[in-house]
Structure 1
Amino acid sequence: MKIAYSPCPNDTFVFHAWAHGLVPGAPELDVMYADIDITNGLAAAGEGPEVLKLSYAALPWVLDKYALLPCGGALGRGCGPLVLARGGRTPETLAGKRVAVPSERSTAYLLFRLWAAQTVPGGVGEIIVMPFHEIMPAVRDGAIDAGLVIHEARFTYPDYGLSLVADLGSWWEKDTGLPIPLGAIVARRTLDVQAIAGWVRASVEYAWAHPDASREYVLQHAQEMDPEVAKAHIALYVNEFTANLGEDGYAAVEALLGRAADEGLVPRIDPALLR
């Protein structure tokens, strides 16, 4: 079975067991490691593998072909994207400014736009898409006014001399009381989606039961990430919602995509297609 997920520690931790033949009854995996922007595009073009990780923000474009799995993805609290700038910036001072984002089809981007609509008078100015690892240096060097960052940048931005303008996760949780929907695992609707969900959940449970088994695999793909940062990354993004979305998880997805549709950022979805 072909699958695509990122080389980030949370994904390699979750899928280690299945990728290494440790999930009884599960088919062998042919793994493609790809940034979520790439998997979003593959799914939208109808060219994606049978199972893949994508952003919840990309779901409205693919729900006709792919079913959302109730496990394996990334939702959580205290794990939202950050808006960063050099010292002295406040949300109000971002009005009309140039802001770098890692993608325009990401949960981070939707959260940023929803936050800015509430918080930045008149809205921000030019949005510039750039690879996420280039954003903090660009803000530090003054090439852009602020940046939207994700992943391990939560832990490393002080190294670039940057300050926090807003934690979009904290804003979202305060505004909605719900977790943040980040990355989803989807499978083609033509397949046995229930069986695939069972294999994904079994892989998650193996990872929790044998937390050191995936260490070498995780670090191999973590792009020279410090082992302690990788461990913190996993602790943050692999949680109860990874095993089961539950009612709070589904409510969070519906809230994010519903609000984004209200702002004209995504097509409106039929909530029945999420389950």
Structure 2
Amino acid sequence: MSERELEAPEEVDLLVIGAGAGGMTAALKGALDGLSVLLCEKTEMVGGTTATSGGTVWIPGTALSREAGVLDTTAQAAEFLRHVVGNRGGDDLRAAFLATGPDAIAELQERTDVRFVAASAHPDYLDGSGSAYGGRALSPLPFDGRQLGADFARVRPPRDVFMGLGGMMVGRAELGALLKPFGSFSNFRTTLGIVLPYLCDRLVHRRGTRLLMGNALVGRLLISLRKCGVPIWFGSGLVDFLRSDGRVTGAVIETGDGLRTVHARLGVVLATGG
């Protein structure tokens, strides 16, 4: 790699590679803590596999579970994970996850546009000691993509099976009404409330702006990043790491304008690969 290719370095506190939910959350947390942050995404859209998923996160012991009327504790979740994982290791990582998860959700709820709701009936996938019937699965609340302005086009669309009429997102609880719109007055009202705004959206946008599931989480993270002033380099993929004295100190990024060197004073977060 020539000296010319490595010129024009950038320097930030935290460099994050990958703009799925993990990378976007890491970048957002850094910005909330007062760090200078750069987020790099190799595609032209944010969201990664999160945008095409249900967007549900599994965080035991949050205040949201109590609000949903489902009592849950991290101690019970720890017992459940010991039952599921057994002696395969990772005890310290699980303990850190359980200890910090509730506070992480609380901070996102209080300081950003990210909003979740705990499901009162969403059993853990495996039964056993410490398993819960609800409260641990947190789903993102719907989001109005129009709040993003031009950035709405940066949100990766969901899979076709999550959309109707060529671009309308539909929630699971709404399917019955949409499949039988004339079955009752309630069904008809629900159908009109979803379809009419969608038709208006299509006069301006390539798809509906009512975002649900993983798309809603991505939209909420993106608007939060914008409000925090976090720059996002689109079309910018990782080429190599910079190393000094045995630690990673930055990265070489391939952008549309060529290779750029980014130095990271505090660290590099690798959040790529889905």
What TM-score, normalized to structure 2? 0.26
Q: Which has the larger radius of gyration?
A: 2
The structure with the greater share of residues assigned to helix is 1
The structure with the greater share of residues assigned to strand is 2
